[in-house]
Each structure stands twice: as structure tokens, then as C-alpha cells.
């Protein structure tokens, strides 16, 4: 049995990285307040299906243990042995026999066989055919009291609004690196496997936010009962942070000779160019966070931007090694040499303490910061109009120059992908230190219009621009032809 299967969570306490969601579901089970339909949304590997199974099992469990299934009662055991007829799992992605799905859903009106409820878990629900959706909708509109639905999807936009409005929705977050590391530690300790902490953090970095990949990598990295940094570095072509830091430093210092030497050494071993780009982008992301208030930020940002643009071209070029070399050399020749004094702390990126005199410099570098009060000065990103009813500014080109919202969106994309999705199509306007975002769809507006997310947006704006903005959200206030964040977003992503 693989470690992933062995350590697949069976109760709420072992679901990783979804604390609030699991607390709510646990509480619903405990207090017997389970709704009749749920929609779990999130990217792959975030624990949607696992949570759906725990919930389904819990609903039919006769002796719940603190809101989690007991694994002992007849119903729990039937589920574990695959004999639970009342929990019907459908994978809409692989089930092309649509009639079968419709038939299954149509049968919902019959009483459960052994459990209290008949529960349908429909994975990748957005893949259902029109007919199957209609059958589902019919049942959702007049749900028999003995039926519950747990729908899961990676693509919420493809789930019809008629379905979405009849279910309780939960968004599953990407799992943080810290959560992945602590899960790996737990598994290592339970299995009696020795490990180096650095090795686990390398795995977590390499697997990004995919817990399943991280556990698989961890398992593949066990050599003689140990997981070591050295072995991982060699097996998975991971470039150590010292080397990544050196390359970035050489770019900033225009030291092309050193770049060529370093790349040469790496190529002796073999470089997976895609992985190289991904690793250096993650490295730079941490560097940007760690230096958000320092002038070095702009050096890192320029390099980040250049490398990310090249990363997007990878699949179109025949010789990726050449693209890598040219990208690094081009970046090194782009501007005046700058020295990077400090190397970023990688494992726990924290904001460096603010240095007032340096902050001055940063503000100067941002074109037209809203701190300038002179109303008559033509300002590239601030709409000079005071009339809020007027349509937003139309000059987008200025926004994508020099410094733009791209860095902010990028930040949001990494931190909260779901919010990013909702914001991609909104329009924006800046007036003094107020940023107004106008949403076209109520669904997106509702998603972002919560105190937590508004705070998050204000905080990230401060991190990216060094200025406190007030974020104001409106629904459908402007005409569709305005500045769309997506215009800048698409240029980057």
C-alpha cells in the first residue's frame, strides 16, 4: 500500500490545510444539521474527494465520534469494504455513459437500502452532460428527505448557476508549504523514517501545493530508511538555493561571465529547463516577499518579470537550454549593475523591517503614486475625474509599463487563487488612495466582498505598492468597456 493511500485522511482532524471547512462540516455532523446538497470547489489535490467521503460516511455513521465517522459501525464498515449501496460515487469526468448517470440520479427517489440517507458524491460535476444536469437539477429542486448530494469540481464557472444556487459551497484552499511539511513529518515519524528537515522542505517546494505529489516524492526518496537532501537534489534535479541565489546575484551585477560558468556547471549534470524556471521563479517570489520594503525589490521584480515571460515561451521553442541561457544573459545586460547585499531567507519569508529613508526611494519609483496631491498634474494611473459615475480610465498601456497591477495580481494568484479567478474580469479605478473594483457578476462580487478578503486585498496592495489603499467593491456600476484587470493579467499569465 502506498504511503499516500495509507495516510489518506479518514477523519476531519487529519484533513490537511482546510481547517475552517472541516470545522464547519464536522460541526454540521455533530449537531445533525447536514444540508441536503454541498458543492466542494478547489484545485486538484486539495482534499475535496477525501472530505466528501468523510462527510458521506459520517452522515450514515450510527456512532459518530466528535463529528467524524467511527469506522466501527455496520455502515462505516460497509463503506470501507466497498459494500455501502447508499453512498454512490460518480466520476463525471470518466463516465461518458450519460444515461447511466441520469438513471442513477433518477433513482434518488427510492428509499436508502441500509443507511439513513442515500448520498451521491459526484466528482468533477461540471463534466455532466446537459441531460444529467437536468436530472440533477430536478432532484435538487425537490429533494427527497432521504437524499444528500456532495458535488465536487475544479471548475466552478462551468457549473450552471441553477445548480450553484441550490447548494452550500465550500472552497478548498491550496495547501500551504508549512502544512505539507508537517504532514510529511507526521508520516515520517509514524513510519519510523529518518529525515533531514531541509529534505522535507525541498520536497514541499518541489511539489508546490500538491500534497499527494509531496507524499509520493517523499516515498520515492526513502533510501535505506532515510530521506536526505542530497539524494533528493540528485534524483529530482533540484537546484540548491545557494546556486539560485548566486545566479540572481550575477544577473543583478551584470556578471555575464559568471552566469555562463554557473550554467555550464549545471549543464554538466543536466538541467531540466522547465524545472529550473519554476525553481528560480519560486526563489524570486520568496525574495520579493522578503524584500517588499527594500529597493532591492525592484531588482528582483525585474528579473522575475523577465524569467516569467521566458517561462511562458518554453513550449514554443525547440531548444529550451538556449532560451534559458539567452534569457539570463539578456536580463544581465538590461540595466545598470546593482548589488544584492542580502540573500533572501527562503524557508520563512518575512517582511524585512521598514527603513524609512529607503521607503522614500521606492515611492519615487512608482509612477504617479496616489500620494501626490497636485490635482492638475496629468497622472498616468489615476483618473483625474472626481465624478465617480464616469466610466473608468481607458488608457491601459500605462498600467502595463514600468510597474503595474500585474505584480499585485500575481501576488493574489499565488496567495488566493480563488480570489484571483473572481477578480480577473473586474474593472478598476483609482482615485487618490481608493481603489474601486467593479464586478460584472454577482457571483464574483460575493466571493470577494467579505471583510477578510477586503483586508487581504488592502494588505497585499500595501506589500506591492508600499501604500495604504482603501479597497472599495461595487457591482455592475460601470459600463463594460473600462480597464479590466485581466488585460494586464493576461499579459503575464
Sole window of 74-82, 266-274, 312-320, 452-460 interacting with Zn ion (rule: CB under 5 A): 74-82
Which cell numbers in the block locate residue 479?
Answer: 459600463
Q: For residue 166, what are the contacts with CB-CB under 8 A and spacing of at least 6?
A: 37, 137, 140, 141
Q: Cβ of residue 145: shortest distance to Zn ion, in angstroms?
A: 21
Q: For residue 485, what are the contacts with CB-CB under 8 A and spacing of at least 6?
A: 405, 409, 423, 424, 425, 426, 427, 428, 437
| Cβ atoms 85, 118 nearer than 8 A | no
Considering only residues 422 to 441 of the shown chain, the ones binding Zn ion according to CB under 5 A are none
Considering only residues 145 to 184 of the shown chain, the ones binding Zn ion according to CB under 5 A are none
Nearer to Zn ion, 69 or 482 (CB): 69
Residue 309 has a CB neighbour count (10 Å cut-off) of 12
Q: Cβ of residue 112: shortest distance to Zn ion, in angstroms?
A: 15
Nearer to Zn ion, 62 or 455 (CB): 62
Q: Cβ of residue 82: shortest distance to Zn ion, in angstroms?
A: 16
Out of 14, 30, 73, 243, the residue judged to bind Zn ion by CB under 5 A: 73
Nearer to Zn ion, 70 or 246 (CB): 70
Rounded distance, CA 7 to CA 149, Å? 26
Residue 78 interacts with Zn ion (CB under 5 A): yes or no: no
Sole window of 69-77, 270-278, 332-340, 436-444 interacting with Zn ion (rule: CB under 5 A): 69-77
Sole window of 70-78, 100-108, 323-331, 361-369 interacting with Zn ion (rule: CB under 5 A): 70-78
**DSSP conformation letters of 272-341:** -HHHHHHHHHHHHHHHHHHTTTSTHHHHHHHHHHHHHHHHHHGGG-S-HHHHHHHHHHHHHTSS------
368 to each of 364, 375, 467, how far by Cα in Å? Answer: 8, 12, 12
Rounded distance, CA 172 to CA 392, Å? 34
Nearer to Zn ion, 74 or 354 (CB): 74
Sole window of 60-68, 119-127, 169-177, 225-233 interacting with Zn ion (rule: CB under 5 A): 60-68
In this structure, are strands 194-195 and 168-171 parallel, antiparallel, or unpaired?
A: unpaired
Nearer to Zn ion, 73 or 193 (CB): 73
Question: Count residues contacting Zn ion (CB under 5 A)?
Answer: 5
Sheet holding 168-171, edge to edge: 87-91, 118-123, 147-153, 37-41, 168-171
Nearer to Zn ion, 76 or 332 (CB): 76
| Cβ atoms 232, 309 nearer than 8 A | no
Out of 70, 246, 271, 317, the residue judged to bind Zn ion by CB under 5 A: 70
Rounded distance, CA 453 to CA 160, Å? 25
Nearer to Zn ion, 68 or 484 (CB): 68
Q: Cβ of residue 108: shortest distance to Zn ion, in angstroms?
A: 23
Nearer to Zn ion, 73 or 281 (CB): 73
Residue 467 interacts with Zn ion (CB under 5 A): yes or no: no
Q: Cβ of residue 54: shortest distance to Zn ion, in angstroms?
A: 11
Out of 39, 61, 140, 461, the residue judged to bind Zn ion by CB under 5 A: 61
Work out whether the CA dihedral 478, 481, 486, 489 comes out positive or negative: negative
74 phi/psi in degrees, rounded to 5: -55, -45
Out of 76, 90, 159, 217, the residue judged to bind Zn ion by CB under 5 A: 76
Residue 30 interacts with Zn ion (CB under 5 A): yes or no: no
Rounded distance, CA 358 to CA 344, Å? 18
Q: ∠263-266-270 over CA atoms, to 5°?
A: 125
Sole window of 39-47, 57-65, 185-193, 272-280 interacting with Zn ion (rule: CB under 5 A): 57-65
| Cβ atoms 279, 239 nearer than 8 A | yes
Nearer to Zn ion, 69 or 392 (CB): 69
Nearer to Zn ion, 68 or 404 (CB): 68
Task: List contacts with Zn ion (CB under 5 A).
Answer: 61, 69-70, 73, 76
Amino acid at each position: 500500500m502506498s504511503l499516500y493511500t495509507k495516510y489518506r485522511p479518514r477523519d476531519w482532524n487529519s484533513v490537511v490545510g482546510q481547517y475552517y471547512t472541516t470545522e464547519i462540516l464536522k460541526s454540521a455532523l455533530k449537531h445533525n444539521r447536514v444540508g441536503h446538497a454541498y458543492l466542494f470547489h478547489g484545485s486538484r489535490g486539495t482534499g475535496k474527494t477525501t472530505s466528501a467521503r468523510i462527510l458521506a460516511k459520517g452522515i450514515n455513521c450510527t456512532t459518530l465520534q466528535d463529528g467524524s465517522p467511527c469506522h466501527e459501525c455496520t455502515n462505516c464498515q460497509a463503506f470501507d469494504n466497498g459494500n455501502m449501496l447508499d453512498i454512490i460515487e460518480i466520476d463525471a469526468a470518466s463516465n461518458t455513459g450519460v444515461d447511466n448517470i441520469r438513471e442513477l440520479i433518477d433513482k434518488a427517489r427510492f428509499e436508502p437500502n441500509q443507511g439513513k440517507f442515500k448520498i451521491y458524491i459526484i466528482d468533477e460535476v461540471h463534466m455532466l452532460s446537459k441531460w444529467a444536469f437536468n436530472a440533477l437539477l430536478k432532484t435538487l429542486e425537490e429533494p427527497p428527505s432521504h437524499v444528500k448530494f456532495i458535488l465536487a469540481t475544479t471548475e466552478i464557472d462551468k457549473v450552471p448557476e441553477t445548480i450553484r444556487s441550490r447548494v452550500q459551497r465550500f472552497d478548498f484552499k491550496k495547501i500551504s508549504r508549512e502544512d505539507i511539511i508537517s504532514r510529511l513529518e507526521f508520516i515520517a515519524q509514524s513510519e519510523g523514517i529518518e529525515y533531514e528537515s531541509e529534505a522535507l522542505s525541498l520536497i514541499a517546494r518541489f511539489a508546490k501545493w500538491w500534497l499527494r505529489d509531496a507524499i509520493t516524492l517523499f516515498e520515492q526518496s526513502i533510501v535505506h530508511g532515510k530521506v536526505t537532501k542530497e539524494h533528493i537534489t540528485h534524483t529530482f534535479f533540484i537546484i540548491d538555493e545557494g546556486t539560485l541565489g548566486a545566479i540572481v546575484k550575477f544577473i543583478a551585477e551584470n556578471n555575464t561571465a559568471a552566469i555562463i560558468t554557473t550554467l555550464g556547471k549545471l549543464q554538466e549534470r543536466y538541467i531540466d529547463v522547465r524545472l529550473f524556471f519554476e525553481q528560480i521563479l519560486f526563489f524570486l517570489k520568496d525574495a520579493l516577499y522578503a524584500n517588499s520594503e527594500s529597493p532591492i525589490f525592484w531588482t528582483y521584480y525585474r528579473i522575475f518579470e523577465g524569467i516569467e515571460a521566458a517561462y511562458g515561451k518554453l513550449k514554443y521553442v525547440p531548444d529550451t537550454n538556449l532560451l534559458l541561457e539567452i534569457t539570463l544573459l539578456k536580463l544581465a545586460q538590461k540595466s545598470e549593475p546593482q548589488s544584492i547585499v542580502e540573500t533572501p531567507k527562503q524557508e520563512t519569508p518575512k517582511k524585512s523591517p521598514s527603513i524609512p529613508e529607503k521607503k522614500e526611494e521606492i515611492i519615487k519609483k512608482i509612477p504617479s503614486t496616489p500620494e501626490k496631491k497636485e490635482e492638475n498634474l496629468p497622472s498616468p494611473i489615476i483618473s483625474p475625474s472626481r465624478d465617480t459615475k464616469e466610466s473608468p480610465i481607458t488608457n491601459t498601456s500605462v498600467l502595463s509599463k514600468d510597474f503595474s497591477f500585474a505584480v499585485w495580481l500575481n501576488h493574489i494568484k499565488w496567495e488566493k487563487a480563488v480570489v484571483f479567478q473572481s477578480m480577473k474580469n473586474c474593472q478598476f479605478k483609482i482615485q487618490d488612495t481608493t481603489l474601486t473594483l467593479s464586478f460584472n457578476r454577482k457571483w464574483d462580487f460575493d466571493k470577494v466582498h467579505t471583510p477578510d478578503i477586503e483586508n487581504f486585498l488592502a494588505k497585499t496592495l500595501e506589500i506591492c505598492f508600499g501604500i495604504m489603499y482603501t479597497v472599495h467593491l461595487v457591482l455592475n456600476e460601470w459600463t463594460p468597456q473600462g480597464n479590466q484587470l485581466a488585460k494586464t493579467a493576461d499579459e503575464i499569465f
